[in-house]
């Protein structure tokens, strides 16, 4: 135990004597959150829209007028046929097309029910979602006014039927918070840990320690502790920033969000330890953790592109990426705010991965040089 303490102390010395790296590790999440946060502003202002009105009733005209009345939308084009709809969206002239089908006005008057088609270009999902919300609100508000005569029902009867192009799930704008967490924790825990263990092999200190009575596995566990501490600090930084800077509240249980985060930290640390047992040079450790673990985290974990939209083969590969499960679980617990039972599958998979990677590390661990 005294030995273990001495090694943990030594690891902190290593890290603290390289202040540039410490700063980088601690500031990185701040920069990422701010960058993503400002890149993803969701203010709807002067969004270009097109209207295809084949109904030409008073109601549809009033709604069209209302849409263009505020600062949110600007009607750029009035369309005359269905075939023009994909054209204007593909050209990027408009973000939204509002379609009133024939009979909209009379349906509304006689049955109290009518539908408006709203077609959105969701290649910019956050903008599309906000624009849709604005449009929906305007349509609902106006149609409620028509019914104020009170004869049919008090409930709004115009149901906008939405059709999203390119990104049907329309992921939440704040999905990137769990994503940034997943990426940074993987970077610190897997990459930094594996590099720091392999460095001991490269500089020959591992040779010296192996020839001593120290339990070599203890040395490796001691290596993970400072990175665990840095990870905890980073989790706190990211959560505080997302609550107070981005106004993304933790809608679920903080306890379970922290639980799944720590679980993921442990999985990442075991990935780092596993890599260190497989390679002998820092460059190799960096390449493996970078290419095999980091790149997929960014591309396949659903942080940028939704997993469901990927080709089948990539979806299968994505399943074995720990960050994918963490991000999915953290989204549920943080953004959707659902009960922990809905994240049990993610927790189970991460626990399984932790046991698997840790087991492989122990199995691969060498008590000699060859």
Partner 1 sequence: MYPVEVVGLNKSYGKVRALNGLNFSVNPGEIFGIIGPDGSGKSTLFRILTTLLLPDSGVALVDGFDTIKDYKKIRNRIGYMPGRFSLYKDLTVEENLKLFATVFNSDIKQNYYLIEPIYKQLEPFSGRRAGNLSGGMKQKLALSCALIHKPSVLFLDEPTTGVDPVSRKEFWEILSTLSKEGITIVVSTPYMDEASLCTRVALMLKGRILKSDTPADIVKSYTRELYSVKSKNISGLLKDLKRVPEVKSVFAFGEHLHLSLDPGTITLDKINEIIIKQGYRDVYINKIFPTIEDTYMLFSEEDFKNGR
- List beta partners, residue 121: 165
Instruction: State the nearest-atom distance from the C-beta of 14 to partner 1, in Å.
Output: 6
- By beta-carbon proximity to partner 1, the closer residue of 10 and 61 is 10
- Find tokens 């604005």 and name the residue: 134
Instruction: State the nearest-atom distance from the C-beta of 4 to partner 1, in Å.
Output: 10
**Measured distance CA(303)–CA(153) in Å, rounded:** 44
- By beta-carbon proximity to partner 1, the closer residue of 13 and 217 is 13
- By beta-carbon proximity to partner 1, the closer residue of 9 and 102 is 9
Instruction: State the nearest-atom distance from the C-beta of 221 to partner 1, in Å.
Output: 15
**Measured distance CA(309)–CA(49) in Å, rounded:** 26
How many helices (H) and strands (E) are present in the chain, helices listed first? 16, 5
Instruction: State the nearest-atom distance from the C-beta of 2 to partner 1, in Å.
Output: 6
- By beta-carbon proximity to partner 1, the closer residue of 45 and 366 is 366
Q: Which residues make up the interface to partner 1 (CB under 8 A)?
A: 2-3, 6-7, 10, 13-14, 17-18, 203-205, 207-214, 367-370
Cβ atoms of 257 and 333 within 8 Å: the answer is: yes
Considering only CA atoms, which of 230, 248, 227 is closest in space to residue 239? 248
> In angstroms, what is the C-alpha Rg of the chain?
27
Instruction: State the nearest-atom distance from the C-beta of 285 to partner 1, in Å.
Output: 19
Task: Tell me which H or E stretch contains 119.
Answer: strand 114-121
- Find tokens 């990870």 and name the residue: 231
Relative orientation angle of helices 216-244 and 2-16, to the nearest 10 degrees: 50
Instruction: State the nearest-atom distance from the C-beta of 367 to partner 1, in Å.
Output: 8
Relative orientation angle of helices 193-203 and 216-244, to the nearest 10 degrees: 150
**Measured distance CA(231)–CA(188) in Å, rounded:** 7
- 337 torsion bin: left (phi>0), alpha (psi -120 to 50), beta (else): left
- By beta-carbon proximity to partner 1, the closer residue of 151 and 370 is 370
Instruction: State the nearest-atom distance from the C-beta of 12 to partner 1, in Å.
Output: 11
Q: How far is CA 367 from the centre of its chain?
A: 40
- By beta-carbon proximity to partner 1, the closer residue of 312 and 368 is 368
- By beta-carbon proximity to partner 1, the closer residue of 213 and 311 is 213
φ, ψ for residue 154, nearest 5 deg: -90, -20
**Measured distance CA(183)–CA(186) in Å, rounded:** 5
- By beta-carbon proximity to partner 1, the closer residue of 214 and 292 is 214
Instruction: State the nearest-atom distance from the C-beta of 272 to partner 1, in Å.
Output: 20
- By beta-carbon proximity to partner 1, the closer residue of 14 and 109 is 14
Instruction: State the nearest-atom distance from the C-beta of 7 to partner 1, in Å.
Output: 8
- 250 torsion bin: left (phi>0), alpha (psi -120 to 50), beta (else): beta
Sign of the torsion formed by the C-alpha atoms of 257, 263, 266 and 272: negative
**Measured distance CA(15)–CA(223) in Å, rounded:** 10
């Amino acid at each position: 135990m005294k030995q273990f303490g001495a090694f943990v102390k030594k690891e902190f010395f290593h890290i603290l004597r390289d202040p540039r790296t410490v700063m980088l590790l601690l500031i990185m999440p701040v920069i990422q959150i701010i960058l993503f946060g400002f890149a993803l502003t969701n203010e709807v202002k002067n969004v270009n829209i097109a209207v295809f009105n084949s109904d030409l009733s008073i109601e549809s005209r009033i709604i069209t007028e209302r849409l263009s009345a505020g600062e949110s939308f600007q009607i750029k084009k009035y369309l005359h046929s269905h075939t023009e709809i994909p054209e204007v969206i593909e050209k990027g002239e408009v973000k939204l097309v509002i379609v009133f089908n024939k009979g909209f006005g009379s349906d509304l008057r006689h049955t109290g029910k009518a539908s408006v088609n709203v077609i959105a270009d969701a290649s910019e999902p956050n903008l599309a979602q906000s624009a849709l919300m604005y449009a929906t609100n305007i349509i609902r508000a106006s149609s409620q006014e028509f019914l104020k005569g009170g004869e049919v029902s008090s409930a709004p009867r115009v149901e906008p039927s939405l059709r999203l192009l390119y990104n049907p799930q329309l992921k939440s704008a704040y999905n990137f918070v769990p994503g940034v967490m997943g990426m940074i924790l993987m970077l610190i825990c897997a990459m930094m840990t594996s590099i720091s263990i392999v460095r001991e092999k490269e500089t020959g200190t591992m040779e010296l320690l192996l020839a001593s009575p120290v339990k070599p596995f203890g040395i490796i566990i001691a290596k993970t502790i400072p990175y665990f501490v840095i990870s905890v600090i980073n989790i706190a930084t990211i959560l505080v920033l997302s609550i107070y800077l981005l106004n993304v509240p933790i809608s679920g249980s903080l306890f379970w969000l922290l639980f799944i985060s720590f679980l993921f930290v442990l999985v990442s640390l075991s990935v780092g330890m596993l890599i260190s047992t497989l390679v002998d040079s820092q460059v190799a450790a960096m390449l493996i953790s970078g290419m095999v673990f980091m790149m997929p985290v960014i591309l396949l974990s659903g942080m940028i592109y939704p997993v469901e939209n990927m080709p089948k083969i990539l979806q299968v590969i994505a399943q074995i990426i720990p960050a994918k499960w963490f991000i999915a679980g953290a989204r549920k617990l943080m953004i959707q705010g659902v009960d922990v039972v809905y994240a049990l599958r993610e927790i189970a998979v991460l626990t399984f991965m932790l046991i698997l990677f840790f087991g492989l590390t122990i199995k691969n661990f060498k008590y000699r040089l060859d």
